[in-house]
Amino acid sequence: MQTYSYVGVDSVGKSINGKMVAADEAGLEGRLRAMGLWLVEARVEKVSASKLNPRGRLAKAAPRREMINFCVLMSFQLKVGITVMNGLQVAAEDCESAPFRHTLNSIREEVEAGASLAEAMEHQGGFTKQFTSLVRAGEKSGTLPDSFMELRRYLEWQEQVISDVRQATIYPAIVAFVVCAFVMILFTFVIPRFVGLLAVAKVQLPLPTVIVFGVSDFLTATWYLWVLVLVVLPAAVIIARRSSLKFAIAFDKVKFKLPLFGGLNHMLAMSRFAQNLAVLYRSGINIVEAMKLTENLVGSPWVAMSIADVGQRIQQGETISEAVRKHPVFPGLLLRMIVMGEKTGNLDKALENVSDYYNLVVPRKIKKIFSIAEPALILFLVVVVGFVALAIFMPILSLMGAIGK
């Protein structure tokens, strides 16, 4: 679909200028003929570079909450018999985000010009491949209202998962960073001042003081190395994961085995896999295509590679359970539920049960991590501060005792 600027004439020879969306110039001419106009001149409108994002699509924001409201509104409107074009117009008027409102108006124009809703969404951008695939499946099967309601449930689930992940990672990361920064400042700026004071007093240093001063000297002399470790190393890992698939897979295998957070990361990846596959399969998308769409939605290169191999094996004639069984990244619970789903013919329900299970377990896992991580960090901080205080006050007490004598 393209936007054309046109010049036409009506039955009395009056010249009329305007803009219209059409698949090509022939489609534009057909639409104008239906309006009683004859096409004289047509020119494709070019979108200015300032309105394009790096991929060449129109730069529009689509907040998740706006998307959820859009899906709810479209589902209710279509269920009561309102047309797609009128539904899009109402959704645009009800939208609070100006960029998303512009997107919906552009989609409505393309649908009015003869495009399907899924095609218009793909052309405008701002919608994931999964979103447009579900809309297309709903259009083909005549269940578009149900597809929008399914998308609403999926987006709400996605929002909950993101909230759980943030809760599980941001708070411990902030606390750990503050503790590390406090220890670094303590050993590189505070303790060296006491070193000079005690050196002038020529007090014999006890063992805890010697240890603390030694650590302080080491950190003061190598502070730039620790900055590199804390800043450069994470950046290098991120770049390596994006540039090397082998490294990303190896990193995932290590990440899933980490204490506390390893099991949580694995559960989140399996929850995404089960939920996305269930939504796509239930909407009428065949299992192979659903596997392909799910690959980029799990957030793990190792799981994505395993899903791609499962899809290929299914194409070659293997059952889903046989293909899944060959990959250790998939837990036994998921495999047993897939086997049960294949036997009963309710694979989507079985996958949804797995996702529901993880949705219950993940918050409990997060609470468990907090119950362990918070006391551990506090205990670490108390031990460090207490040991440093002991190391500083022991020679000071010795000095005061010597003065008293």
pLDDT per position as a tens digit, 12-25: 777 777 766 666 77
User: CA-CA distance, 136 to 144, in Å (whole number)?
Assistant: 8
The pLDDT of residue 3 is 67
Domain boundary among the residues 137, 155, 173 is at: 155
* Tens of pLDDT, residues 76-106: 999 888 898 899 989 888 888 888 888 888 8
Name the packing angle between helices 245-255 and 233-243 (round to 10°).
120
Q: Are residues 270 and 218 in the same domain?
A: yes
* Tens of pLDDT, residues 162-191: 777 777 667 777 777 777 777 777 777 777
User: CA-CA distance, 319 to 338, in Å (whole number)?
Assistant: 10
Query: pLDDT grade, residue 289 (50/70/90)?
Result: confident
- Structural domain includes residue 57: no
- Structural domain includes residue 51: no
- Structural domain includes residue 392: yes
* Tens of pLDDT, residues 244-261: 889 989 998 998 888 877
Domain boundary among the residues 106, 130, 155 is at: 155
Q: Are residues 276 and 344 in the same domain?
A: yes
- Structural domain includes residue 104: yes
Structure tokens at 26: 């022939």
CATH of residue 135's domain is: 1.20.81.30
Q: Are residues 94 and 141 in the same domain?
A: yes
The pLDDT of residue 361 is 83
Strand ranges, E, within 11-113: 15-22, 38-44
User: CA-CA distance, 74 to 268, in Å (whole number)?
Assistant: 30
Residue 134 in this model has a pLDDT that exceeds 80? yes
State the residue range of the domain holding 116. Answer: 64-155
Q: Are residues 41 and 119 in the same domain?
A: no
Which position has the higher pLDDT, 320 or 206? Answer: 320
- Structural domain includes residue 56: no
Q: Are residues 140 and 177 in the same domain?
A: no
The pLDDT of residue 58 is 45
Q: Which residues of 280-319 are buried (b: 16+ CB within 10 A; e: fewer)?
A: bbbbbbebeebbbbbbebbebbbbbbbbeebbebbeeeee
Q: Which backbone phi and psi does 123 adopt, to 5 degrees?
A: -70, -40
> How many domains in the chain?
3
Residue 304 in this model has a pLDDT that exceeds 80? yes
Q: Are residues 83 and 232 in the same domain?
A: no
- Structural domain includes residue 160: no
Q: Are residues 305 and 359 in the same domain?
A: yes
- Structural domain includes residue 227: yes
* Tens of pLDDT, residues 221-230: 877 787 777 7
pTM exceeds cut of 0.75: no
